[in-house]
A and B are shown apart, each in its own frame.
Chain A
Amino acid sequence: MKAKLTATAALMMAGALALSACGGNTSSGTTAGGGDAAANLDGRGPITYVQGKDNNNVVRPLVDKWNAAHPNEKVTFKEQTDQADQQHDDLVQHFQAKDAGYDVMAVDLVWTAEFAARGWLQPLKDKMAIDTAGMLPSTVTGASYQGTLYAAPESSDGGILYYRKDLVPTPPKTWDEMMGMCSIAKANNIGCYAGQFSKYEGLTVNAAEAINSAGGSVLDKDGKPSLNTAEAKTGLENVAKAYADGNIPKEAITYQEEQGRQAFQDGKLLFHRNWPYLYNLATTEGSSTVKDKLGMTALPGTDGPGASSLGGHNVGVSAYSKNKATAADFLKFITSEESQRFFATQGSLAPVLTKLYEDKELVAKLPYLPVLKTSIENAVPRPVTPFYPAVTKAIQENAYSAIKGEKSVDSALSDMQKSIESAGAGS
């Protein structure tokens, strides 16, 4: 009898381990309210800056420079992992614990609205205001929620259409032109076009680009889904049709950034949509076969440049911070021309200040800047919504089925619309 009881207990434990492994992240439930946005506005003193892994070693030199100038308001740099999801969860946990130890943090563009709506980010107005006049407008939109700026744009990113300039004499301006040039790819026995179509965040980027470039939008101005339009349909249909025709090679359904880059560098693609980081690798890597054949242009749209999805990071101040005055100064320091130039030269991060894109010295070092400027100027931030995690899943799930042809474009869009409506309807 006793043995049976202990057996049951042991099993309970085993099962419980499973549960606690799952439930471990969910430290506290109700999160409404957030911090007091009016408190500690004049607080000065040491602060902590939190950011994902500093791969290009740009943050430490900047922090050192700040610390040399501000011995009483030193910044400590806390480095997170290089996984975006883990960075997000780490921030959420510290916000939920109302941790004053996380003063300033890098916030991915797509988390900004969520954190703002939770009341975790300090609105950047009045005493906290920063100057956004010289910044690219789309980066400012990407850091705002309901008309209020909640974070300072730190770095930007936009999609670029890379092409083989040895095969394509004049780059296409529109999607139809590009599809028309696919005969060149066929004649050379290579794939025509690929982006990132594997089912992950990159697919949201690509699907939103297709929809935005055709004149549609995922969400309207009020944050309500607006996918039941002819424009949205044209956009998604363009991609689905290209995949069905073989203009997008079938293996592209497994491509994330790296696989696509590899295929393009191996000379297997005529056109490829990717981020600016491809440029350096494709022109310097020994295995690249396209070193001297690399052309760059803006993403194609309906009758002109298309609308890239905006990438990049913002820097926000925690509503729980005790030293918000110092934090505000640090934001200004990070978005200053000097720091932005350092980000660009040292870390190849796209600046948020418009004038740096015409800077001769920088353009010489980063030749893609003019193209990237067009891209970012026409860019649309990915749907700005506090329900971003649900929205991106709804887009990925349905766009994936539509591209693979398992579902009609019409029903994919209508399911996307319904899923996003349901997410926004509250619990």
Chain B
Amino acid sequence: MATKLGPTPVKSPASGGAPTHHGPKGVGEDNKILSQGKWAAWLLAPTVIALGIVIVYPIISAIMMSFQKDAGLDPATGLFTAGGPAGIQNYVNWIAQQCSAPGGGTLACPPGTLGAQFWSATATTFFFTIVTVTLETVLGFWMAMIMARTFKGRSLVRAAVLVPWAIPTAVTAKLWLFIFAFEGIANKLFNTSILWTGSEWPAKWAVIIADVWKTTPFMALLILAGLQMIPAEVYEAAKVDGATAWQRFRMITLPLVKPALMVAVLFRTLDALRMFDLPYILTGGANNTTTLSILVINQIRQGFNAAAALSTITFVIIFLVAFIFVRFLGANVVEQSGATGKGKK
């Protein structure tokens, strides 16, 4: 990172025999550049230290914890004793859904333990991610197209669209909890008597609807930013050439907005994979709406070390998904900016 900050390569004045037009100032310039580097290091230090404390330390600590056993009860005293090293047992337990058996060893986790929910929680998390991100992309695109047009009251529409995004998720979840209550607005409005939070598919849809309502504006804004980068001339030229609206959308809008779109999808996907507060408040994780994050929080109350292993697994899953996005779908924020940097030169 630090080298990127230097405005020009350091070599020029000293190594090059022929001095530049700065001539006599050469040495001073060199010092200045060096001290600039030092300055940069000093200026960056607080950020690096802060990141180290709030990100690197917890991760390392969590990973180290995940290789420890959870405290067990000493039957003689009734007090907890430290568990000692566990190797990769915590990871094996989660992935193979094994729980401690009375009298030592492990057995397949009986229903009612958190261990029994690992794969169903993983499936639920991915199900929510795929469905919500797809819906949000489609709806967000549509909203962005509307907002990109010039019409009376455009700024009002743009502000209004942002409202759901501005409300904290926990508040959103409470609002939807009232809406989806048995005596709530949803049932009154449609004259139905669905137990929204009381059975599997209604509960899942309740979570999806609330999530889409909340995060579509985010998607729409990112896509809108991409749309506004497309010069109007391109459309005009296409119109002159006789392209239909559908052709303009497919051949111009879509390819040109793709970089912004992919970044938006990537962000939302990573976010959705960590989904916690919405299902936690709306359904409490009942009826197969337990996501990996909810499972981690529940496990924290039962044993830190197994929870550390689970959050590391969650981390790896999210990282893999992000990697696949970047590697195969070309959603790369950083590469993009690197390319433009080169272009400037």
Q: Give chain A's interface residues, CB within 8 Å of chain B.
A: 2-4, 6-7, 10-34, 85, 88-89, 117-119, 145-146, 198-200, 250-251, 253-254, 259, 262-263, 386-387, 389-390, 393-395, 397-398, 400-401, 404, 415-416, 418-419, 421-427
Contacts and interface: CB of A to CB of B under 8 A. Distances in A.
B83 to A, nearest CB: 5
Given A262-B183, A421-B102, A422-B110, A29 B296 contact: no
Given A4-B335, A198-B284, A400-B286, A390 B302 contact: yes
Contact of B70 (A11, A25, A27, A427): A427
Interface in B67-100: 68-73, 78-83, 86, 99-100
Contacts of B82: 30-33
Contacts of B138: none
A26 B65 contact: yes
Interface of B: 1, 54-56, 58-59, 61-62, 64-65, 68-73, 78-83, 86, 99-104, 107, 109-114, 181-183, 193, 195-199, 270, 273-274, 284-287, 293, 296-298, 300-308, 311-312, 314-315, 318-319, 322-323, 326, 332-335, 338-339
A29 B198 contact: no
B181 A393 contact: no
A79 B236 CA distance: 64
Contact of B113 (A7, A118, A390): A390
Contacts of B319: 11-12, 15
Given A30-B83, A422-B101, A424-B73, A254 B113 contact: no
A426 B72 contact: yes
A198 to B, nearest CB: 7
Is the contact region of chain B dominated by helix, strand, or loop, or is it mixed?
Answer: mixed
A206 to B, nearest CB: 15
Contacts of B332: 7
Nearest to B109: A422
A427 B303 contact: yes
Given A10-B334, A30-B83, A427 B111 contact: no
A22 B112 contact: no
Secondary structure dominating the interface of A: helix
A427 B306 contact: yes
Given A30-B71, A198-B197, A415-B111, A22 B293 contact: yes
Contact of B114 (A24, A29, A393, A426): A393
A35 to B, nearest CB: 12
B315 A18 contact: yes
Contacts of B102: 421-422, 424-425
Contact of A26 (B55, B308, B314): B308
Given A198-B197, A426-B72, A118 B59 contact: no
B79 A119 contact: yes
B78 A145 contact: yes
The 4 A-B residue pairs with the shortest CB-CB distance in the complex, in nearest-first order: A426-B72, A3-B338, A23-B62, A419-B112
9 contacts: A11-B326, A25-B297, A29-B304, A30-B83, A251-B198, A254-B197, A386-B73, A419-B113, A425-B101
Nearest to A268: B183
A386 B297 CA distance: 18
